[in-house]
Copies of this chain bind each other. A is one copy, B any other.
Amino acid sequence: MQIALLGGTGDIGQGLALRWVRDTTHDVIVGSRKAEKARTMADEYETELASRDYDVAIAGLENRDAAAAADVVVCSVPAYYLSDTITSVADALEDAVLVSPAVGMQRDESGVHYNPPGAGSVTALAAKAAPDDVPVVGGFHNLAAGKLANLDADLDWDVPFVGDDADAKATVTALADGIEGIRPLDAGDLANAAEVESLTPLLINLAANNERMHDLGVKFH
Using a CB–CB cutoff of 8 Å, the interface residues on chain A facing chain B are: 108, 110-114, 156, 160, 185-192, 194-196, 198-199, 201-203, 205-206, 208-210, 213, 216-221
**Which residue of chain B has its CB nearest to the CB of A216?**
B220
Q: SS class of chain A's interface: helix, strand, loop or mixed?
A: mixed
Of B111, B187, B198, the contact of A188 (CB 8 Å cutoff): B111
**Which residue of chain B has its CB nearest to the CB of A197?**
B198
Given contacts A201-B195, A202-B195, contact A156 B221 (CB under 8 A): yes
A198 / chain B contacts, CB cutoff of 8 Å:
114, 194-195, 198-199, 202
A206 / chain B contacts, CB cutoff of 8 Å:
160, 185-187, 220
Given contacts A216-B220, A219-B221, contact A195 B191 (CB under 8 A): no
B218 touches A111 (CB 8 A): no
A52 to B112, CA, bound (A): 44
**Chain B proximity of A181: nearest CB distance (Å):** 12
Of B189, B190, B218, the contact of A220 (CB 8 Å cutoff): B218
A187 to B201, CA, bound (A): 10
**Chain B proximity of A198: nearest CB distance (Å):** 4
B110 touches A192 (CB 8 A): yes
Given contacts A110-B192, A113-B194, A202-B187, contact A221 B210 (CB under 8 A): no
